[in-house]
Amino acid sequence: GSGVLVDAKGYIVTNRHVAMAEEQNPDSSVSFVPADSLFVTMADQPLQKWTRVTVVAVYPAGQPDLALLKIPNYSGPHIAQVDWADADVRQGEAAALIGFPTGEALAYDAATRTVRTSMSAGIFSKVTTDRIQFDGFTVGGSSGSPVFNANGEVVAVHAAGLREAVGLGFAVPIKYVPPLLPPDAKAELGLR
């Protein structure tokens, strides 16, 4: 999966299904269990440079498919433009998704020995209060990727696609992320 750093202290937004393992219960319901360990590699870094992260918060099953991770002692680059209110998401407007489709294998650049993100362009084909539909190239591994509007602002987190309709993706609006953020991150980002 993919994720996006939303502040300079190392908070990463991704999907619950990326950060946790799915487990089938005897009653056929699904639950999520914490992973034993979770590592990330940053874009434009050597593939072998893995950093352990911790899971800070996760929405339970049945709620938005989002999780918040933290890189300990991080201080570095992050996405600065986030439309926390989803004010600039309109059906028919241009959109872009940046991430690691199919995981690290496709992202690996043998010449530089680094992982590089892919970007796909598309449109917002449907916008509702709880879901943003993105029409553009998405495949397995795109989960957790940030979805941008034409202004370059993150407006959603890619969560799923349809196998029978490659390119049709569904994203969780970014407005669902602030409740997961701890007070220090909210203060830094100017959120309540």
Listed in sequence order, the residues at least 6 apart from 26 whose beta carbon sits closer than 8 Å to its beta carbon are none
Asked if 98 and 148 count as a contact pair (C-beta separation under 8 A), the reply is yes
pLDDT tens digit sequence for 86-110 = 778 999 999 998 887 666 666 777 7
Asked if 152 and 82 count as a contact pair (C-beta separation under 8 A), the reply is no
Q: Structure tokens of 81?
A: 């433009």
pLDDT tens digit sequence for 145-159 = 999 999 999 999 999
pLDDT given for residue 61 in this prediction: 83
Cα dist from 70 to 39, 40, 141, whole Å: 10, 10, 20
Burial class (CB in 10 A: 0-12, 13-18, 19+), 79: middle
Residue 113, pLDDT above cutoff 70: yes
pLDDT given for residue 29 in this prediction: 78
pLDDT given for residue 47 in this prediction: 67
Sign of CA dihedral 186, 189, 190, 192: negative
pLDDT tens digit sequence for 15-48 = 998 898 777 788 887 777 777 788 888 887 776 6
pLDDT given for residue 101 in this prediction: 64
Residue 186, pLDDT above cutoff 90: yes
Asked if 100 and 158 count as a contact pair (C-beta separation under 8 A), the reply is no
What is the percent of the chain where pLDDT is above 70?
92
pLDDT given for residue 167 in this prediction: 72
Cα dist from 21 to 25, 30, 35, whole Å: 13, 10, 6
Q: What is the DSSP string of 159-176?
A: EEEETTEEEEEEEEEGGG
What is the rounded CA–CA span in Å between residue 80 and residue 189? 9
Q: Rounded to 5, what percent of the chain is helix, strand, coil?
A: 10, 40, 50
| Statement: the pTM of the whole predicted model exceeds 0.85 | yes
Q: Structure tokens of 90?
A: 């309109």
